[in-house]
Amino acid sequence: MLTMPIPDQEVIARRAAIAAALRHIVPGEGVVEAPIEMRAFETDGLTAYRQMPLVVVLPETTAQVSAVLKYAHDNAIKVVPRGAGTSLSGGALPLADGILLGLAKFNRVLEIDYANRCAVVQPGVTNLAITKAVEHKGFYYAPDPSSQIACTIGGNVAENSGGVHCLKYGLTANNVLGIEMVLVTGEVIRLGGKHLDSEGYDLLGVMTGSEGLLGVVTEVTVRILQKPETARAVLVGFPSSEDAGQCVADVISAGIIPGGMEMMDRPAIHAAEDFVHADYPLDVEALLIVELDGPQVEVDHLIERVSEIARANNSATLRISTSEEERMLFWAGRKAAFPAVGRISPDYLCMDGTIPRKRLPEVLQGMAELSRLHRLRVANVFHAGDGNLHPLILYDANDADQLDRAETFGADILRLCVKVGGVLTGEHGVGIEKRDLMPEMFSEGDLAQQMRVKCAFDDQGLLNPGKVFPTLHRCAELGRMHVKGGALPFPEIPRF
Amino acid sequence: MSAVLKPETETELSEMITAAPAPLEIVGHGTKRHLGRPVLAGATLDMSAFSGIIAYEPEELILDVGAATPLAEIERMLAERGQQLAFEPPDWSALLGAQGSGTVGGLVACNLSGPRRLKAGAARDHILGIHGVTGAGNVFKAGARVVKNVTGYDMPKLLTGSYGTLAALTSLILKVLPAPESEETVVLTGLDDDQAVEAMSLAMQSACEISSAAYVPGEGVYLRLEGIAPSVSYRRDQLGKVLKRGIEVMATKSSTAKWRAIRDGAIFIDNPRHPLWRISVAPSIAPGMIRVLKDRFDIRYLFDWAGGLVWLEVPPSDDAAQALVRSSFAAGHATLIRAPESTRAAIDVFQPQAAALAALSGRVKKAFDPRHILNPGRMYRGI
């Protein structure tokens, strides 16, 4: 189990006074302090970790968020921001000595501006609600994380969320035009807006994916797009992951960027088929779904080309969707892959590394060996187009040894991803889950530079401490550090 | 003439920055030296040794290059494999009186994007990784050779468009994309400013996947369609229906030349003494802005990015009419991209920021360059 910073007992002792001060800022039901009511906030999508917060505050206005943060800053109290709590990496895990700042009441769509093709929304609006608000005019918001029915746009900004369509349409960072945010001092700033690019440093780019460590987003302006005229998918089974991987490479080499390109391995195919009966082939090692979207004439043309490429790569089965129902059926299994795995195992850990695609066969091979070593099963779903791998490690949380083994297995998979030139996380964030693996990818000097950026936003380290960075440094100390050959002059860094 | 430092390795670069007694001006090929505020430097930091292709993997959509690699060399290499930098890097050498199209590091340091930025995103959306040395002499890297990555802060975006004020970049990892198989440009004539922006907005709201939309007063609106040929011609026909009017179609060759001219600000080249602004606003407010400015003086202008980018040339004056220009819009930003050095030293070349944001920018500068060694004052005074 990963450990969190040791709670400050002095702050915990002041709990009643802190709650009273917050009530003063957010009257009525905006402050939650009864343990039974705070229970709803004790975990997020990384359910193996639970922690009751010091107190929960649910402000409704930017002015309240500003006052809460200023109070926390003046009194040196930690703050954990939270949207819908769907983070898979523990980004919203509370702290025993920290205020949990929930943005759920910021749930209004403020403006839809079709002429400028953007929508201005509050951060607690769900990802899917943005699309729902504009779809009657044929528009949608492109990034579509699997949790889109529940996850909020504020959380998407914090995590730079992706989805199955991000190879073609980009991550959150590529679809957010502007934000209003509150610094930990309570200062309110605006970055971007309905216009493009930044006048100075790209702080919007830094905020997106900063996992709640730099500020609290109170308004978001997103780009909306006209829905593609049509979409069709091709479902291809391969006798080996090598063939499937080569097919993906050949599609991209042919100059085709599909709307979605997803791969599943044999265990994932079987779990999904047992669950949703999508008529997936069961005697293949890898299944590929390639979706083309755009005008009918383009989709028809490209689907033929993709099919030819698949056949040239030894496809064992190949079906092209001929109706919207059939296309949805192809996707049904993939989209239900997580719950499908949930049916065959009491618990699972969803990992999230990205690798250079061409290394897929050796990574799958390595994972099979690790699976034997740790005596736990693994199923793989893979955003094949962009190399983002989601191994699902099957375990039983009631058995402490299994959780330990699952976590070690997961860490080994991510180390393998880094070893082949990939990264620890493609879209789920570092959070607490991958925090202690950061040194696998970054030198101490690299991490120190990121922490200096943190200091520019939050000099006391009050926002979401214990996430992302494996060690805590005081900002003054980081300012003095000089890196020689990638190593910092403080070998005995305090770990938590 | 100031001294020239020419590091060959990151270690040497770090030592030179650490030892520098006075500010350094970072230079690749020097094509964008006149962009931004003038830097009062004790020496020039010549980065040209950091040149060359480190890795190009077309099927992974990845290009890893030395920061001083000539952009022209990169574009040639990508074209051979049918790929491109989708944000359409502009070449402002003629506009700024420079020779050659510069280095990829300079392009990224200035976050310059062309007409396709409308659909494909800016330079900052295509930078996946960076290596460099901060103003404190710290060698660091961020990002990786994969197209999807959220591990740690997005430092590549922060460094993109920082005009060398935070770190000297040594290498870059870029996302490359397939070049479209064909292109066509639709021309709409006889429109005034308001009608032009309205037509571009209508086109952008359709499913026609317009990759670029620009309006040149006196010429007309240009709408670019790219992709496979049958798709392009289908979308061209759809566009006629959406706009409910007859359309003209340009031949491929003149289409390519037209977008190059718009990208590079070609219509403004013949007036080198006239200050030139690039103003980023919500597209719908562009015509109103121009109406206000036209009443005050003789201007030349064009709209790119469907009206979201206004190129504005004003008559010569000491302050490049900054107050008037900046009071013509409420939200957005105006950057002075061409003016005499004395003007660029005297006024805010980049849009001034509100106090809290300016202070934050100052703290970010300090996080990388506490001694104000790298390109100080290039973007803002004190940064």
What is the C-alpha to C-alpha distance for residues A455 and A119, in angstroms, rounded to an integer? 32
- Which two tokens mark B365? 């500068």
Yes or no: say if A109 and A136 are a contact pair by the CB < 8 Å rule.
Answer: no
| Chain A residues 424-453 with a CB less than 8 Å from chain B | 424-430, 434, 438, 441-443, 445-450, 452-453
Which alpha helices (H) appear in chain B, and where do they start and end?
10-19, 71-80, 93-96, 104-109, 117-120, 155-159, 193-205, 229-243, 252-263, 286-296, 322-327, 341-346, 355-368
Q: What are phi and psi of A3, to 5 degrees?
A: -105, 155
Q: What are phi and psi of B365, to 5 degrees?
A: -55, -45
In Å, what is the CA distance from A341 to each residue of A153, A271, A277, B83? 27, 6, 14, 39
Which chain B residue is nearest to residue A256, measuring alpha carbons? B178
Yes or no: say if A268 and A381 are a contact pair by the CB < 8 Å rule.
Answer: yes
Q: Do B360 and A203 touch (CB under 8 A)?
A: yes
Instruction: Place A171 in a pLDDT band, splitting at 50, 70 and 90.
Output: very high
Q: Do B157 and A202 touch (CB under 8 A)?
A: yes
Closest CB from B142, B351, B383 relative to A199: B351
Q: Do A298 and B61 touch (CB under 8 A)?
A: no
Torsion on CA atoms B281, B285, B288, B290, rounded to nearest 10: 30
Single-letter amino acid code for the residue at B298 = D
What is the C-alpha to C-alpha distance for residues A93 and A52, in angstroms, rounded to an integer? 9
Q: Do A196 and B206 touch (CB under 8 A)?
A: no
At A48 the pLDDT is 86
Is A332 at the interface with chain B, CB within 8 A? Answer: no
- CB atoms inside a 10 Å sphere around CB B187: 17
Decide: helix, strand or coil at residue A425. Answer: coil
Which alpha helices (H) appear in A313-399, and where do they start and end?
324-335, 337-344, 360-374
What is the C-alpha to C-alpha distance for residues B80 and B89, in angstroms, rounded to an integer? 17
For residue range A81-113, list pLDDT tens digits in order: 999 999 999 999 999 999 999 999 999 999 999
Q: What are phi and psi of A108, to 5 degrees?
A: -110, 140
Most A CBs within 10 A among B88, B151, B158, hence the mutation to make, goes to B151
What angle is formed at CA B224 by the lines to CA A140 and CA B302, rounded to 5 degrees? 100
What is the C-alpha to C-alpha distance for residues A68 and A184, in angstroms, rounded to an integer? 9
Q: Min CA distance, A297 vs chain B (Å)?
A: 6
What is the C-alpha to C-alpha distance for residues A385 and A381, in angstroms, rounded to an integer? 12
For residue range B258-281, list pLDDT tens digits in order: 999 999 999 999 999 999 999 999
Which chain B residue is nearest to residue A189, measuring alpha carbons? B357
In terms of phi and psi (left: phi > 0; alpha: psi -120 to 50; beta: otherwise), the region of A486 is left
B-chain residues near A452 (CB < 8 A): 367-368
Q: Do A252 and B61 touch (CB under 8 A)?
A: yes
Yes or no: say if A426 and A353 are a contact pair by the CB < 8 Å rule.
Answer: yes
Decide: helix, strand or coil at residue A126. Answer: strand
Q: Min CA distance, B233 vs chain A (Å)?
A: 10
| Chain A residues 369-408 with a CB less than 8 Å from chain B | 383, 386-388
Give residue B106's Cα distance to chain centre: 10
Tens place of pLDDT per residue across chain B (383 aa): 579 999 999 999 999 999 999 999 999 999 999 999 999 999 999 999 999 999 999 999 999 999 999 999 999 999 999 999 999 999 999 999 999 999 999 999 999 999 999 999 999 999 999 999 999 999 999 999 999 999 999 999 999 999 999 999 999 999 999 999 999 999 999 999 999 999 999 999 999 999 999 999 999 999 999 999 999 999 999 999 999 988 899 988 899 999 999 999 999 999 999 999 999 999 999 999 999 999 999 999 999 999 999 999 999 999 999 999 999 999 999 999 999 999 999 999 999 999 999 999 999 999 999 999 999 999 999 99
Q: Percentages helix, strand, coil for chain A, rounded to the nearest 5?
A: 40, 20, 40
Instruction: Place A485 in a pLDDT band, splitting at 50, 70 and 90.
Output: very low
Closest CB from B138, B145, B351 relative to A483: B138
- Which two tokens mark A6? 């040791």
Most A CBs within 10 A among B9, B148, B375, hence the mutation to make, goes to B148
Is A356 at the interface with chain B, CB within 8 A? Answer: yes
Q: Min CA distance, B84 vs chain A (Å)?
A: 11
Relative to beta strand A388-395, strand A353-354 is antiparallel
Give residue A415's Cα distance to chain centre: 19
Closest CB from A183, A228, A428 relative to B356: A183
